[in-house]
Amino acid sequence: MELGNHGYGHLRLGDVRLGEYEAAVLKGEVVTRWLLSQRGRAPRYYRHPYTQTGPSRDVKQAFESFLADHGYKVAPFTVENSDYIFDWLYAAARARGDGEQAGRLLRAYLDYNDMMLAFFEAEAQDLFGRSIAQVLLLHANALNADALPEMLERLARRGYRVVPLDEALADPAYATPDGYIGPAGPSWIHRWRAGKGGDAGQALKREPDPPVWVLEAFRNRDRAAD
């Protein structure tokens, strides 16, 4: 399997000095670089924690130069679905034996994933005038483990097939400049809009939110845990 680097300690680029952040990259590859070397390979992809690529143009460019010097390129994503929000609530429901709520969250998550796919498909169509290869950001958690069979069926019904990252990145869309500078971690579709002179912030605001009841439950999670 392709093993990438997500840094050590999940640091935010901008919250720490660049040198400290770069040291976390090197610390984050110790095991994976060794594992890959046993098969004649080396880590190639880096994904920024929180997808924060730099608070300023100078920091962003300096870090991208660091990555290139160490044989990395950035692993982008185009579709995200706030799975961490659903997963926290899903795990809590399962822990207290509330199967009904867990099932409701699972169904809501799958529907929201479809909604986000439709949104980013439309954004890509608007930006490039065609469908593009999409990269879906998923975290390794209980929610996705349980959702994956149906998620894959739904993806297939939308016309998707699962391919290696290299194949997806061969789509010419991924050669579009990432023009986003700032503290957020938006989809590369928004970044490409900025690279083409558009307003990434306004595009980000157009993204559909998870259902209100999910957001309210997540905001009140600390109180619910007491």
Q: At residue 64, what are phi and psi to the nearest 5 degrees?
A: -65, -35
Count Cα neighbours of 117 within 13 Å in the Cβ-side half-sphere. 20
Residue 87 in contact with residue 110, Cβ under 8 Å? no
**Rounded distance, CA 93 to CA 153, Å?**
25
Q: How do residues 120-145 score in pLDDT, each as one tens digit?
A: 999 999 999 999 999 999 999 999 99
**Residue 144: closest CA among 78, 87, 208:** 87
Q: Tell me, what DSSP letter sits at residue 79?
A: B
User: Residue 224: is its pLDDT beyond 80?
Assistant: no
* Global model pTM greater than 0.85: yes
Domains of the chain: which residue ranges?
Answer: 18-74, 83-178+195-219
Q: What average pLDDT does the segment 111-118 reach?
A: 98
User: Residue 170: is its pLDDT beyond 90?
Assistant: yes
Residue 40 CB burial class (10 angstroms; 0-12, 13-18, ≥19): exposed
Residue 216 binned pLDDT confidence (cut-offs 50, 70, 90): very high
**Rounded distance, CA 140 to CA 193, Å?**
29
